[in-house]
Amino acid sequence: MFDKLREECGVFGIYGHEESARLTYLGLYALQHRGQESAGIVSSDGERLHAERGMGHVSDIFQEENLARLPGRSAIGHVRYSTAGKVSLNEAQPFSVKCSFGQIALCHNGNLPDAIEARQQLERDGAIFSSTSDTEVVLHRIARSRAGDVVEAIAEALRNDEGAFSMLFVTPDKLIAARDPRGFRPLCMGELEGATVFASETCAFDLIGAKYIRDVEPGEIVVVEADGIRSLKPFAARTTSHCIFEHVYFSRPDSLVFGRSVNKSRHLFGRHLAREYPVNADIVVPVPDSGVAAAIGFAAESGLKFRFGLMRNHYVGRTFIEPRSSIRHFGVKIKLNPVRDLIEGKRVVLIDDSIVRGTTSKKIVKMVRDAGAREVHMRISCPPTIAPCYYGVDTPTREELIAAQNSVEEIRQFLEADSLGYLSMQGMREAVGDDADTRFCTACYTGKYPTQLGANVMTSRQRESIPAD
């Protein structure tokens, strides 16, 4: 893939529908952009849980044969992107356990940065882990809880976590959704033919014909069972810290995330960027696909022509066979190719959502020049990324982030672009409607984190880089 920050995963759940497993499959299909390494579904037939997990894309894993092994009227599902190389079935979610509360399965979008300390303590107490995932820590806490029921045990297991979690749990008779008090990661709630549905993004609802009702609120636990739906607020209130990068890159533009259209936010990113960094040019070209909406906004505000000057190959799998002989920039070329007749002789404004290490951006700038562009002006629809994320984003170390080590001018020189402009923090906040009622986490751009981070705190990437025992 490109040199991009990546979301760890997406979750989907449904309670009260005869086709729960197949609808979960479709929901995960819509959320495939949030994770491509593994996927899994756990269903409930009212008496016991049934699980199917596998490596690869959703459509590769689930066929009629194994979907038929997932009976029942409730199910949860998960798509995952691995971070530092633990590409194994042991890491695939949902995870499940049988304990004093009966069977329970869990899937998680987010990151618990202090999980390494909790894991070490649990191991000292005799716990045995089968994965590197912080999610497994939560299951062990639930299994050891002396709470009166499973809902109380879940609240107890999560009460002291300062990280990011949008979680779905399924038991033989319940589906439970939980979201951290700061609301880092999205989790929305919908309805389909009397069934209750949860998903990371509303695009999953659109595919199955479900109606979006509301977001699961920060700090809320929603319990769905035969008697109906109930809501609990068992966690101490915190200042809201929605991940702003959901609107910059992660989420699909056709989704509502944090109650706001992602497409609208990205369009406004481009308009603000055009005001802040105007340029005398001929055409605006997006780096597909995440740069498209911002590029449309930039073109509309600047009066320049919008052109799809780069074509993306959407059929590239997770791996491909490289030629034996060397081909310059092969890794980028197999995914992107310039449309020469649109670019040749033109002054091009190249719009992308972010620059991480800068290596891919450099190759794209050269590719556009080689296609005959007279000038290449790079515009980025977010501020420079200078700090790692501890709340569920696959972020390189600070040392690997080009903007943490270099000025904008130094980055421009590295890219060999004629000019470079990043969207300002103010422009980004205005575009997402960050007002008195909404707060976003911008730690990756400021280095100011909304939670206290301990000495042993780890990103998902750092945690997964630890060799397994």
Pairing of strands 242-243, 440-441: parallel
Q: Which residues pair with 196 in a beta bridge?
A: 15, 191
Selection from 185, 182, 213 nearest residue 197 by Cα: 213
Tokens representing residue 255 in the block: 């989704």
9 is catalytic: yes
Instruction: Quickly list DSSP for 354-407.
Output: --SSSHHHHHHHHHHHHTT-SEEEEEESSPPP-S--SSSEE---GGG-HHHHS-
Active-site option among 9, 188, 382, 441: 9
Measured CA to CA, the distance from residue 149 to residue 107 in angstroms comes to 19
What burial class does residue 329 get, using C-beta atoms within 10 Å of its C-beta: 0-12 exposed, 13-18 middle, 19+ buried? middle
Residues forming beta bridges with residue 95, ordered by sequence position: 106
What is the DSSP annotation of 144-201? H---SSHHHHHHHHHTT--SEEEEEEE-SS-EEEEE-TT--S--EEEEETTEEEEESS
The helix/strand/coil state of 219 is coil
Active site residues: 9
